Structure 1
Amino acid sequence: MVSIIIAESSLELVPKELWHHNAVTSYCRKMDKRPSEILLDNSWHFGAMKGMKNEIKRGRPDIVHFCLLEACTIPLYEEDELSVYVHTIDDLVIEVGRRVRLPKSYHRFAGLMEKLYSDGKVTADGQTLLSLSEMTFSELVDEINPDRVIGLSSDGKPSSYEEAAKACTDESCLVVGGFPKGEFEDSTRKRLDSILSVDQSPLEAHVVVARTLYEFEKTIFM
């Protein structure tokens, strides 16, 4: 089964050092939640995020939402031929269960992620839909144990979607960055067997996910 990791994803709860910032407290009053219970989102917390460490790669949980919708609504996933993982910027890992129907609405998705952070897992009818655990990217790769790990990044070797898909076997792992700007950290890069650039221009992560998985589907089903 091929795997995909949305790596270093811009998905996290509001860090403690921002809890008392006006941008955070006003949002919490509106949502009737505590700062420790909400996702960091630069749409609402831009003022609080200014100057924070690694600012350009944080506060975009919508990127994860788009990527998961692309990965979890295709035949490859529906036929249990795809395992989906989210590795976050603060070294947590979300494992997506089989045939999970994720909310199309971002507001509902954010609520689901906040529940996952609170409870550690989301279940329905005895099935674990989402689970959360502390794990580095390297530890996740060890757990998946793929035959090859292929990173997709604009600074990689020039390739195409078709060539990237053909480089995969059904035991390979694709890695796409789940952040708005920047590159993979060295700790991630050292676990990648190759890094490919599938387009001449930088593209949004969900586009790379959708097009690459479609090309891989063609090698399986067509």
Structure 2
Amino acid sequence: MVSLILAESSLELIPTELKSHPSVVSHAQKLGKIPSEILLDNSWHYAAMKGISNEIKRGRPDIAHFSILEATTIPLFFQNKIKLFVHTINDKVISFGENVHVPKSYHRFAGLIEKLFQEKSVMVENNELLSLKDQSFSELIKQINPSNIIGLSTTGKQSTFEKIGSGLNDDSCIVVGGFQKGHFSDSIKNKVTNLFSVGNTSLEAHVVVSRMLYEYEKTIFM
């Protein structure tokens, strides 16, 4: 089963140092929640986020949402031929159960992830749909134990989705950045077997996920 990791994803609750910022407090009040219960989102918290550590990689939960939808609404996922993990910027890992249907509405998705961050698990009729645990990228790789790890980045060796897809096997792991700007940290790059670039310009994460998985699908179903 191929594994897909959305690495260093922009998914986190409001950090302690921003909880009292006016933009955060105001947004939380509108949602009827306290600041520590809501996702950091630069659409609402841009003023609060100015100057925080690793700013360019944070506050974009929509990137993970789009990418998760791309990965969980395709034949590969429905036939249990792919395992999805979301590794966050703060070294937490979300695992997905079989045939999980993630909300297409962003607001419902945000509510689901906020609940997951607080409760660590989302259950429906004794089936665990989502789970969250503290885990570094290297620890996740050790758990998966893939035969090869393919990273996709503009800093990698030039290739194409088709060439990469044709070289994948059931024990491969694909790594895509779940952030808006910047590059993989050294802790990610050091674990990647092969780092490839699939174009001269940067593509959004959900586009990379959809095209990469489609090329792999072609090797199985066509």
Distance 2:204 2:109 in 1: 19
2:48 is matched with 48
Kept in 2: contact 1:102–1:109 (CA 8 A): yes
Report 1:93-172 matches (<5 A). 93-172=93-172
> Match of 2:44, as an amino acid?
W
What is the CA-CA distance between 1:184 and the residue it aligns to? Answer: 0.2
Whether 1:79 and 2:79 are equivalent positions in the alignment is yes
> Match of 1:75, as an amino acid?
P
2:203 is matched with 203
1:214 is matched with 214
Kept in 2: contact 1:147–1:172 (CA 8 A): yes
Distance 1:176 1:149 in 2: 11
Render the CA deviation track for 1:89-126: whole Å, top value 9, x for unaligned. 00000001110000000000000000000110101121
Runs of 4+ that moved beyond 3 A: none
Render the CA deviation track for 1:51-77: whole Å, top value 9, x for unaligned. 001100000000000000000000000
Distance 1:196 1:155 in 2: 7
> SS at 2:192's partner residue?
coil
Kept in 2: contact 1:164–1:198 (CA 8 A): no
Kept in 2: contact 1:10–1:88 (CA 8 A): yes
> SS at 1:219's partner residue?
helix
**Structure 2 length-normalised TM:** 0.99
Identity of aligned residues (%): 57
Distance 1:127 1:201 in 2: 41
> Match of 1:219, as an amino acid?
T
Give the gaps of 5 or more residues in structure 2. none
Distance 2:154 2:164 in 1: 13
Render the CA deviation track for 1:167-189: whole Å, top value 9, x for unaligned. 21111000000000000000110
> Match of 2:61, as an amino acid?
P
Give the gaps of 5 or more residues in structure 1. none
Kept in 2: contact 1:146–1:173 (CA 8 A): yes
> SS at 1:90's partner residue?
coil
Distance 1:148 1:115 in 2: 34
Distance 2:38 2:177 in 1: 22
Render the CA deviation track for 1:7-30: whole Å, top value 9, x for unaligned. 000100000000000010111111
What is the CA-CA distance between 1:198 and the residue it aligns to? Answer: 1.1
**Structure 1 length-normalised TM:** 0.99
What is the CA-CA distance between 1:32 and the residue it aligns to? Answer: 1.1
What is the CA-CA distance between 1:200 and the residue it aligns to? Answer: 1.9
Distance 1:65 1:55 in 2: 19
